[in-house]
Amino acid sequence: MPEEMLTDVDRSLRQTLANMKFHNCVVCNTRTKPKNRRPVNKSIKKYLLKKFFINADERSIICNKCRHNYYIAETQRSSTYSSTEASDPDFHPPASKGNSSYLSPPSVSLKIPCITKTHAKCFLCKRPGPKLIVVPSETRVTVFIKFNILIPSGSRCCPVHIYNEQISEESLINVLTTDTVFMSRTNILELIGAIRKECIRTNERLNFDNLREADYKELTGLKQTDFEDLFLSIEEHIRSSPVRSLRTTVGLFLLKLKSGISNKLLSTILGITPSSVRRAISSVRRALMQHFVPANLGLAHISRQEIIDKHTRPLAQSLFGTDESGDSQPKMMLVLDGTYFYIQKSTNFQFQRRSFSMHKGRPLVKPMVVVTTSGYFVTIIGPYLADGRNSDARILTHMMQTNVEEIKSFVAENDVFIVDRGFRDSLAMLEDMGIHAEMPAFMQKGQTQMTTEDANTSRLVTKVRWVVESTNARIKRWKYLDHVLPTTQVPFIGDFVRIVCAISNKYFPPLSATKNNDDDTALGRKMLDLSKCNNDLKTYIENHCLERKSACWKSAELDVEFPRLDEIQLRELTCGTYQLKMSAGYMQEHIDGNSDIYVHREDNTLLRVKIQSRHVSSKVYTLWIRHNATEVVSWYCKCRAGSRVVGMCAHMAAILWFLGYARHTGKEMYGTRNWGDYVLDAGNIPQTVDSSDTESE
């Protein structure tokens, strides 16, 4: 509208609009409110000119949104400069007054092997992309610490080369590296900081990812190679967690079983919460039960022929492999025994009564252990309750009648079960099934000593049956199972026992040799021949009443004439080593100057010795030995099993060990230290002095 046609009101409105100022953003041209407008400083002005070719002046306004985008872009640019400089020695970002670290040039030459940086190929196998991954910073630091090889940031490799955030030594053997590298002050400081952080992390907490080889055995009970094999078998079936690695999860579980320490202490050692410890134990337990135990334990994982060929001791075949008809054929032999694990007293009174053992006087649960004669775990059944209705015989009967793990189809006629006296009530059932049961003999009512025949046959059984006691001890070496377990763990005791037994089968050596050992077979034949002999010295002692006569014996010194014996001869006489291991303890009480050895006045080849019982203070056993100048001819002891000729009792072995071997070796001390010298004895009270015998003042 022409100016001359405007009224005074229109001219006033136009002048008002002309005087108004609209503050638009210099970037997005959006009208800004007073609270949403910011001035453009020098750094923003420089950024706008470089990025958008906008020449802003001092009166320009920028909105909060565009200003925030500017700071994000600057932050990304700074981080890119920092990572590129740390990895690429030739990169030098432009200097800035506000960042003095960029002023450090790559001028320090260090004798550190460095790989050539590439994005298109794997720096290890030179395979081209596109399926390559960037090497994580933690992996680069670990490689430098372990192998002294520097990997630039941004280097790429195939995913198969990185396992558990680490690169194996085999992958780095043929990698191409430079002899020297130029590093800036920033590079060196960042590398030192990363190494320092790694040292702090590994030293503060137990870390199974960086564990010494010698520590694996002490912490987990397994060698490093065995631990790796166990870990690989269940790695895919363990739940991952951001607070612990998979390797630490498995190591935590084994450490719990090996040491038996509480979850709270484990959380302190590993730097994780107790709830995380519980979840780790539960995860590993389920994975092992599903994917490791079935392959190493149970009747389904092994065949009868494998037990006969690989896990049966030749000595056992020699002793019990002969039929009544005289035919000697390989048989499957299993050794059975019930072990126990103590638990806390339950507040459920019914379970408290059923789990209380009158024999042990404590609440417990009982699994049935089935092993071979070499100590290989075949299966674990249970656990069972501990009251009178769950004896070893009833547990075996329950196993057969319920056909646990298809055991009826696993065993066959003429198989041999080696058991102890607690299975006596199940012998009739085994006989009906055609299974031969070998059990130590009982003493008849009124007897104080087993007959020679019963003592000999019992020794044949114990010579083979000891292996199940050693396997039970092998289980208890995992201290968690040797402690009193809380009642909340009762549902999982069977799982823990099976896991321990499966680990023993997989990674531990057998307790007895199973190869075709000629010495083992010869020992079995010797023991069978001796079991048919009588104890002639016992008959001689009884016929001549030498047990009651005392005048015909004269005291002898410790240097009495006796044939010298070596260790091989002692083992041949005892048919084992168990009795010899206790000999030093028995003789410790008798080497005090008071002689308990007597010689017959008319026959100096006949000795009588008194030896203290190791169990009862009021009981002293008398034994007799007949010898000649070169060997021991016969022996007889008054203890429960002292009339046997298949080996000998521990009392007899102790005397033969001392007279024939120990006193000639120059040893001055036998047994162990008497710890009673450091403990008070309430029975040691000095006698009071009669006041009438003292002078009065």
Higher pLDDT, 6 or 371: 371
d(CA 343, CA 485): 5
Q: Which of 518, 516, 520, 647 is nearest to 576 (CA)?
A: 647
Q: Confidence band (pLDDT; 50, 70, 90) for 148?
A: confident
pLDDT given at position 539: 93
Largest CA distance in the chain: 166
What are the residue ranges spanned by the domains of the chain? Answer: 23-87, 103-204, 208-291, 299-520, 534-676
pLDDT tens digit sequence for 300-338: 999 999 999 999 999 999 899 876 655 667 889 999 999
The whole-number average pLDDT for the span 30-49 is 84
Lowest mean pLDDT among 142-146, 529-533, 665-669: 665-669
pLDDT given at position 86: 46
Higher pLDDT, 204 or 603: 603
Q: What percent of the chain has pLDDT over 90?
A: 45
User: How do 162-163 and 166-167 pair as beta strands?
Assistant: antiparallel
Q: Is it the case that residue 91 has pLDDT exceeding 70?
A: no
On whether the CB atoms of residues 298 and 305 are closer than 8 A, the answer is no
What lies within 8 Å, CB to CB, of 367 at 6+ separation is 338, 339, 341, 380, 381, 382, 383, 384, 493, 494, 497
Task: Say which residue the tokens 């002050």 belong to.
Answer: 185
d(CA 386, CA 364): 6
Token digits for 201?
A: 């992390």
Residue 369: burial class (beta carbons within 10 Å; 0-12, 13-18, 19+): buried
Q: Which sign does the torsion angle of CA 96, 100, 103, 106 carry? A: negative
pLDDT given at position 97: 40
d(CA 413, CA 318): 19
Q: Confidence band (pLDDT; 50, 70, 90) for 207?
A: confident
pLDDT tens digit sequence for 360-393: 999 999 999 999 999 999 999 999 999 989 999 9
What lies within 8 Å, CB to CB, of 518 at 6+ separation is none
pTM metric for this prediction? 0.71
What lies within 8 Å, CB to CB, of 436 at 6+ separation is 320, 414, 415, 416, 417, 430
d(CA 33, CA 64): 10
pLDDT tens digit sequence for 92-104: 444 444 443 344 5
Q: Is it the case that residue 557 has pLDDT exceeding 80?
A: no
On whether the CB atoms of residues 483 and 283 are closer than 8 A, the answer is no
pLDDT tens digit sequence for 413-452: 999 999 999 999 999 999 999 999 999 999 888 888 999 9
pLDDT given at position 102: 40
Residue 588: burial class (beta carbons within 10 Å; 0-12, 13-18, 19+): middle
pLDDT given at position 516: 64
Beta bridge partners of 436: 416
Q: Confidence band (pLDDT; 50, 70, 90) for 76?
A: low
Greatest mean pLDDT range, 439-448, 484-493, 662-671: 484-493
Q: Which of 475, 656, 645 is nearest to 582 (CA)?
A: 656
The whole-number average pLDDT for the span 156-167 is 82
Average pLDDT score, the chain: 84
- Give the helix/strand (H/E) hosting 382: strand 377-384
pLDDT given at position 199: 72
pLDDT tens digit sequence for 275-288: 999 999 999 999 99
The total number of residues shown for the chain amounts to 697
d(CA 53, CA 184): 34
The whole-number average pLDDT for the span 39-65 is 83
d(CA 609, CA 598): 6
Q: Which fold has domain 299-520?
A: Nucleotidyltransferase; domain 5 (3.30.420)
